[in-house]
Amino acid sequence: MMDDFLFRAVTGGVLLACVCGPFGAFIVWRRMAFFGDMLAHSALLGVALGLLIGVDVRLGMIATCLASALILAIGQRQSRIGSDTVLGMLAHSTLALGMVTLAFVQGVAVDIMAYLFGDILAVNVTDIWILAAGGSFAIAVLIWMWRPLLAVTVSPEIAAAESIPVERLRLIFMLLMALVIGMAIKIVGVLLITALLIVPAASARFFARTPEQMAIGAAVFGVASVMAGIALSWHADTPAGPSIVISAAGLFVLSSIVMMGLRRN
C-alpha cells in the first residue's frame, strides 16, 4: 500500500519530469543550461520576497523567475557585455539579494536546504494542481510553437528569412522556461533543477534520430529518474532530490555504455 505522501511525491515528480523532458531538450540544443541555473538562483529571491510581503512563496518564485527572464532578454539585446556574463551577474546578485532579504524576514524559520535541494516528499495537493495546470499550459504552448521554435534553433537565419518571428519565439520560450523552473524548485530545488532538465535529455540523445524522439525520450528518462530516485530515497533513507539527480546521472552512464556496446557490434 502506498503511503499518501509517497503517492503525491511520485505524482508531482512524474508530472515535472514529463514537462522537463521537452524543455530540457531545447535547453540542450540551444545551449542554455546556464540560463536554467540563473533562473533557479533567482527563485530564492522569490521565496524571500514572498515571505516578506506575505504572498505564497510558490507565486513569488514563479514571479521572480519570469522577471529575471525578462531582464535577461533585455540584457541580451546589447553586445558590450557577453550574455554569459549577464547571466552570471543576474544569477549571483539575485541569489545574494534573496539571502539578504531573508535576513529581514522575521519570525519565520526558513528551511533553506529545502529550497536548495528540493523537498519532493513534502509535496502537497495544491503543489500538484499548480504543477498540473502550469505544466500543461507550458507544454501546450511549446507544442503550438514547436516547428517554428525548432527552426529558430536550427537556423535563425532560415527562420527569419521565411517570416518566422524569431525574437518573439525566443522570448516566449524564455518565459515558459521561467514558469517551469519556478514550479520545479519545490521538488528538486535551486541547485538540482538544471540537472533534471539536461541529464535526461542528454541520455535520450543517444537513442534519438529526430528532435521529437529526443524530447519524448527525455521525458521517459526523466520519469525513470524520478521513480528510481524516490525508490532509492525510500529504501536507503537518502535525500530525495539528490537521489533523483543521481538516478538520472546513473541512467546517463548506463545509456552511454549501452550505446558504446551497440556501436561496437
Partner 1 sequence: MTAPLIEGRGLTLSFGSERVLDQVSLSIQAGEIMTLIGPNGAGKSTLVKTLLGLQKPDSGDVIRKNGLRIGYVPQKLAIDQVLPMTVKRFLTLTRAAARSACETVLGQVGAAHVIDAQMSSLSGGESQRVMLARALLLRPELLVLDEPTQGVDVSGQAELYRLIDDIRAELNCAVLMISHDLHLVMAKTDKVVCFNRHVCCSGIPDTVRQHPEYRSLFGVREADAIGIYTHEHDHEHDLSGHVVGDCGHDHSHDHGHSHHHHDHQKQEAETTK
Among 56, 84, 157, 167, binds partner 1 (CB under 8 A): 157
153 binds partner 1 (CB under 8 A): yes
Least separation, in Å, of the C-beta of 217 and partner 1? 10
Least separation, in Å, of the C-beta of 103 and partner 1? 41
The per-residue DSSP string of the chain comes to ---HHHHHHHHHHHHHHHHHHHHHHHHHHTT-HHHHHHHHHHHHHHHHHHHHHT--HHHHHHHHHHHHHHHHHHHTT--SS-HHHHHHHHHHHHHHHHHHHHHH--S----HHHHHH--GGG--HHHHHHHHHHHHHHHHHHHHTHHHHHHHHH-HHHHHHTT--HHHHHHHHHHHHHHHHHHHHHHH-TTTHHHHHHHHHHHHHTT-SSHHHHHHHHHHHHHHHHHHHHHHHHHH---HHHHHHHHHHHHHHHHHHHHHHHHH-
Residues 203-242, interacting with partner 1 (CB under 8 A): 205, 208-214
Least separation, in Å, of the C-beta of 154 and partner 1? 6
How many Cα atoms occupy the beta-carbon half-sphere of 91 within 13 Å? Answer: 17
Q: Which is nearer to partner 1, 156 or 239 (CB)?
A: 156
146 binds partner 1 (CB under 8 A): no
Least separation, in Å, of the C-beta of 25 and partner 1? 9
Among 6, 11, 29, 228, binds partner 1 (CB under 8 A): 29
Q: All 3 cell numbers of residue 189?
A: 530545488
158 binds partner 1 (CB under 8 A): yes
Q: Are 230 and 10 in contact (CB under 8 A)?
A: yes
167 binds partner 1 (CB under 8 A): no
- Integer angstrom CA distances of residue 251 from 54, 180, 247: 41, 23, 6
161 binds partner 1 (CB under 8 A): yes
28 binds partner 1 (CB under 8 A): yes
Q: Are 37 and 68 in contact (CB under 8 A)?
A: no
Least separation, in Å, of the C-beta of 37 and partner 1? 18
Segment lying near partner 1 (by CB under 8 A), choices 60-68, 86-94, 95-103, 149-157: 149-157
Among 114, 160, 220, 259, binds partner 1 (CB under 8 A): 160
147 binds partner 1 (CB under 8 A): yes
Among 155, 168, 254, 257, binds partner 1 (CB under 8 A): 155
Q: Which is nearer to partner 1, 29 or 137 (CB)?
A: 29
- Residues of this chain that bind partner 1 (CB under 8 A): 28-29, 31, 147-148, 150-151, 153-155, 157-164, 205, 208-214
